[in-house]
Amino acid sequence: MRTGFLLLHFLLPTISKSCFSGKQQRKHTDQQFQHYKVVEGEVFMMPCSSPESSSTTWFKGDESKKCENQFVANEKDSGTYRRPNGSNFTLQVIKKTKLKCYEPSESSAMLQYAYPGTILCPGHKCYNNTAVVWYKKNKALWKHNRQHCEKNGQLVLNEVYERDKGVFFCDRKITEEGVTWIFRRAVNVTVIPFLNPSSLPEIMYPFQNMTEEVELGQPHTVLCEVSFDFEVNISRKVQWFINDGGDEEKKTLLLMEEPQEKRGRLFSKVNVTQKSIIKEVMPQHLKHTYTCFASNIIGNKSVTIKFKPKHQEPFLVWIPFACFVLFAGAVVILHVKWLELQLIYRSHFQLGGSDGDEKDFDVFVSYVWTAPSTEVANGLTLSSKPYSDAKGCVSNIRQISEAPIEMLLPHVLEHQWGYRVCLLERDILPGGAYTNDVVLTIKRSRMLICVLSAEYFASSDAVFVLESGVKALLQTSAHKMLLIWTSGTSASFIQPDLTVPKLVQRAVKVLPSLQWDAGASYSAFWIPLQKALPAQEAWQISHMQRPQLD
Ligand SMILES: *[C@@H]1O[C@H](CO)[C@@H](O)[C@H](O)[C@H]1NC(C)=O
Ligand SMILES: *[C@@H]1O[C@H](CO)[C@@H](O)[C@H](O)[C@H]1NC(C)=O
Ligand SMILES: *[C@@H]1O[C@H](CO)[C@@H](O)[C@H](O)[C@H]1NC(C)=O
Ligand SMILES: *[C@@H]1O[C@H](CO)[C@@H](O)[C@H](O)[C@H]1NC(C)=O
Ligand SMILES: *[C@@H]1O[C@H](CO)[C@@H](O)[C@H](O)[C@H]1NC(C)=O
Ligand SMILES: *[C@@H]1O[C@H](CO)[C@@H](O)[C@H](O)[C@H]1NC(C)=O
Ligand SMILES: *[C@@H]1O[C@H](CO)[C@@H](O)[C@H](O)[C@H]1NC(C)=O
Ligand SMILES: *[C@@H]1O[C@H](CO)[C@@H](O)[C@H](O)[C@H]1NC(C)=O
């Protein structure tokens, strides 16, 4: 190795000197030759107008060939090609059998990377080799700017590179009947990293003692990926064996597909993928083990795997079931709570009472008198005077704020905010049937407010108003409803006793409501109330103001 290296260094400069002195060669390549003889089955490449340009296209009849395009010469390619500007080019493809001597091995050469490499021009023994010129693609090799030597039909590259792989051409000049031809031969060069491998194969996949999941009754492919050192005389082999009962002594070769080989990422490596397909996985397949055996001239390596049945993820099984349960649950909830959902929708999302012009009242207030002390009652002379008077009597106002909501509410709505309020005992003429009156009044009102108390639920008449309101809301949504829970009552106040209809019991839990406490602040009660009320008509808006309570 070392002596060889020294020898090269010693010899090459002198070789180079002697090689590049030939002036004849340069003259030769500078001329434009128009007649080419090539050998059938060898690679040829149409000349370009200049070695640098690659845009020339040659035409022969209907055929066209771009220059720089390699093709394997065939007899039918013979003929004269023309360029659009009129220059001609004649190609003659010679049958191998008509050659003086033909040696197939001369058409290819194997050069070892990083070493000097020698190529002979095919037909070396039978032709005059004095004026052979070497080309790589369409460019003469002496123009390639690399250390090399051309002499007597032999090309010596000082050092072989990976990029040297490909086709080299060697041109001879021959004269026939006064016509000078270029007789071109091709050599397919491969570059190899080394002649012999130096390392054992490496099994990249599978891993030792791995377990592969298989589906019973389904086909399964076992795959083995092995990285080998490059080798010239191929000894590499990858095989799959089945070991009966896991006993590696009792192994049988499996039926395998053609191995797939790829040049490794490293120039010096070859990747081999070997597959074996088990057409149908049977329970007995689970009892055996499977060995991937990889060998080359250096030695062998193997990996053994086994199978286990694939069982579906319990999680995946549960998903459809969970979906079903969710769906069924939703259906049940919808079924049970349909009334509530309807009420919530109608009372919250539909604009009741927008047709205010067609209704006689803005607010129908339903309450049951909780019998306040006469003192308070006297203070409330149900006249609007004390409140509309800006300099109202302070004592009156205090009394008012202490008044029960049943009294306060209609008063504020009517006299301070200017709503058209309906009170059953005041506005409905006596004498009609009570139930008719109630239903009609609800229809004539934009909103129904029920002031709820223990007394309210005790009164069947009052509960009838609430029930009628809920029924009307379920049938049409032309009115709004608002519940006002007075001190000590709330939705949970209603015990499941029989005097209150089920419909009402369910409705009061979802209808919009406000909580009233004797000392409720302005923002805790009156502002939300204002927001819940139907929109004011234009003429009413100027009246909308803060109730004068504090
Ligand atoms: C090319 O060939 C055609 C037909 O053979 C001939 O007429 C023409 O003169 C030739 N052109 C040249 C430049 O030789
Ligand atoms: C045709 O064009 C090429 C370059 O494009 C030139 O080398 C050649 O001499 C031309 N031939 C004729 C006949 O003009
Ligand atoms: C080989 O060709 C060269 C020039 O091309 C010529 O000088 C020489 O005489 C030829 N040799 C033989 C043996 O024909
Ligand atoms: C050259 O040889 C290599 C390896 O033998 C082959 O893969 C390639 O196809 C050949 N190239 C041509 C142009 O024949
Ligand atoms: C490859 O095998 C051939 C034929 O057996 C032999 O001549 C050659 O030396 C071998 N090459 C290498 C690199 O072992
Ligand atoms: C694989 O399993 C065998 C026996 O089952 C054991 O001897 C060996 O060490 C294991 N190899 C690896 C790499 O786990
Ligand atoms: C060769 O196989 C190894 C391991 O599987 C991988 O990392 C590498 O990329 C493969 N090379 C090629 C060229 O496929
Ligand atoms: C595989 O290599 C081992 C040594 O590593 C050797 O004993 C065995 O005989 C080889 N097997 C085969 C089939 O070549």
**How far is it, in rounded angstroms, from Cα 352 to Cα 445?**
10
pLDDT in tens, 413-440: 888 888 889 988 888 877 778 888 888 8
What is residue 209's predicted lDDT score, i.e. its pLDDT? 95
With contact defined as beta carbons under 8 Å apart, do 361 and 443 qualify?
no
In a domain, 1, yes or no: no
With contact defined as beta carbons under 8 Å apart, do 274 and 239 qualify?
yes
Q: How many angstroms does the Cα of residue 139 sit away from the middle of ligand 2? A: 18
pLDDT in tens, 59-86: 898 888 888 889 999 999 999 998 877 7
For 304, phi then psi, to 5°, come to -115, 135
**How far is it, in rounded angstroms, from Cα 409 to Cα 109?**
110
**How far is it, in rounded angstroms, from Cα 454 to Cα 406?**
13
Nearest CA to ligand 8 atom 8: 300
Whether the CB of 128 sits within 6 Å of ligand 3: yes
**Do 391 and 508 have their domain in common?**
yes
**Do 68 and 48 have their domain in common?**
yes
State the DSSP code for 47. Answer: P
Lowest mean pLDDT among 140-144, 157-161, 277-281, 541-545: 541-545
**How far is it, in rounded angstroms, from Cα 499 to Cα 464?**
11
**Do 146 and 44 have their domain in common?**
yes
**Do 174 and 235 have their domain in common?**
no
Mean pLDDT of 190-217: 94
Residue of 35, 88, 89, 91 with the most ligand 1 atoms within 8 Å of its CB, for mutation? 88
- The strand ranges marked E within 40-178 are 43-45, 57-60, 63-66, 70-72, 79-82, 88-94, 108-112, 117-120, 133-136, 139-140, 148-151, 154-157, 166-176
In a domain, 171, yes or no: yes
pLDDT above 80: residue 25: no
**How far is it, in rounded angstroms, from Cα 6 to Cα 23?**
30
Total domain count, the chain: 3
Give whole-number Cα distances, 163 to 148, 167, 192, 252, 427, in Å.
15, 11, 11, 44, 108
Domain termination site, one of 256, 281, 309? 309
What lies within 8 Å, CB to CB, of 16 at 6+ separation is 147, 148, 149, 158
What is residue 119's predicted lDDT score, i.e. its pLDDT? 96
Confidence of residue 372 (pLDDT cuts 50, 70, 90): low
What is residue 144's predicted lDDT score, i.e. its pLDDT? 80
**How far is it, in rounded angstroms, from Cα 222 to Cα 303?**
12
**Do 168 and 111 have their domain in common?**
yes
In a domain, 392, yes or no: yes
Q: How many angstroms does the Cα of residue 91 sit away from the middle of ligand 3? A: 24
For 370, phi then psi, to 5°, come to -95, 25
Domain termination site, one of 251, 282, 309? 309
CATH, residue 491: 3.40.50.10140
Q: Which helix (H) or strand (E) is 509 found in, with range?
A: helix 502-510
Length of the chain: 550
Pairing of strands 88-94, 79-82: antiparallel
What is residue 87's predicted lDDT score, i.e. its pLDDT? 78
What is residue 112's predicted lDDT score, i.e. its pLDDT? 94
Closest-lying ligand 5 atom to the alpha carbon of residue 196: 13
Whether the CB of 105 sits within 6 Å of ligand 5: no
Q: Which of 257, 446, 467, 284 is nearest to 365 (CA)?
A: 446
Residue 231: other Cβ atoms inside 10 A: 19
- The pocket around ligand 1, CB under 6 angstroms, is made up of 86-88
Q: Which ligand is nearest to the CA of 270?
A: 7
**Do 169 and 212 have their domain in common?**
no
Q: How many angstroms does the Cα of residue 94 sit away from the middle of ligand 8? A: 52
Residue of 40, 188, 189 with the most ligand 4 atoms within 8 Å of its CB, for mutation? 188
What is residue 47's predicted lDDT score, i.e. its pLDDT? 83
State the average pLDDT for the chain: 81
Classify 382 as helix, strand or coil. Answer: coil
What is residue 435's predicted lDDT score, i.e. its pLDDT? 86
**Do 206 and 121 have their domain in common?**
no
Kindly tell me the burial class for residue 406, based on how many C-beta atoms sit within 10 Å of its own C-beta (0-12, 13-18, 19 or more). buried
Q: Which ligand is nearest to the CA of 153?
A: 3
In a domain, 333, yes or no: no
pLDDT in tens, 254-303: 999 999 999 877 789 999 999 999 999 999 999 999 999 999 999 999 99
State the DSSP code for 267. Answer: T
Which residue is listed with tokens 């082999």? 237
With contact defined as beta carbons under 8 Å apart, do 382 and 466 qualify?
no
**How far is it, in rounded angstroms, from Cα 26 to Cα 382?**
128
Whether the CB of 227 sits within 6 Å of ligand 7: yes
Q: How many angstroms does the Cα of residue 299 sit away from the middle of ligand 8? A: 7
**Do 236 and 121 have their domain in common?**
no
**Do 95 and 210 have their domain in common?**
no
CATH, residue 265: 2.60.40.10
pLDDT above 50: residue 403: yes
Nearest CA to ligand 1 atom 7: 86
What is residue 53's predicted lDDT score, i.e. its pLDDT? 61
Closest-lying ligand 3 atom to the alpha carbon of residue 131: 5
- Using only the alpha carbons of the chain, give its radius of gyration: 53
Whether the CB of 383 sits within 6 Å of ligand 2: no
Q: Which ligand is nearest to the CA of 204?
A: 7
What is residue 530's predicted lDDT score, i.e. its pLDDT? 87
**Do 219 and 155 have their domain in common?**
no
**Do 101 and 150 have their domain in common?**
yes
**Do 188 and 227 have their domain in common?**
no
The share of the chain scoring above pLDDT 90, in percent, equals 39
Q: How many angstroms does the Cα of residue 305 sit away from the middle of ligand 6? A: 10
Classify 92 as helix, strand or coil. Answer: strand
pTM: 0.55
What is residue 11's predicted lDDT score, i.e. its pLDDT? 42
Domain coverage including residue 293? 202-309
In a domain, 130, yes or no: yes
Whether the CB of 79 sits within 6 Å of ligand 8: no
In a domain, 473, yes or no: yes
Closest-lying ligand 5 atom to the alpha carbon of residue 232: 13
Domain termination site, one of 258, 292, 309? 309
Whether the CB of 209 sits within 6 Å of ligand 6: yes
What is residue 300's predicted lDDT score, i.e. its pLDDT? 97
Q: Which ligand is nearest to the CA of 241?
A: 8
In a domain, 321, yes or no: no
Q: Which ligand is nearest to the CA of 56?
A: 2
Q: Which residue has the higher pLDDT, 301 or 316?
A: 301
Q: Which residue has the higher pLDDT, 466 or 378?
A: 466
For 291, phi then psi, to 5°, come to -120, 130
Q: How many angstroms does the Cα of residue 33 sit away from the middle of ligand 1? A: 14
pLDDT in tens, 448-467: 999 888 888 888 888 899 89
Whether the CB of 72 sits within 6 Å of ligand 4: no
What lies within 8 Å, CB to CB, of 36 at 6+ separation is 44, 89, 90, 91, 92, 181, 182, 183, 184
pLDDT in tens, 46-62: 887 665 566 778 889 88
What is residue 443's predicted lDDT score, i.e. its pLDDT? 87
Q: What is the DSSP string of 149-202?
A: EEETTEEEESS--GGG-EEEEEEEEEEETTEEEEEEEEEEEEEES-SS--S--E
Q: Which ligand is nearest to the CA of 233?
A: 5
Mean pLDDT of 375-384: 45
Nearest CA to ligand 5 atom 2: 233
Closest-lying ligand 1 atom to the alpha carbon of residue 87: 13
In a domain, 331, yes or no: no
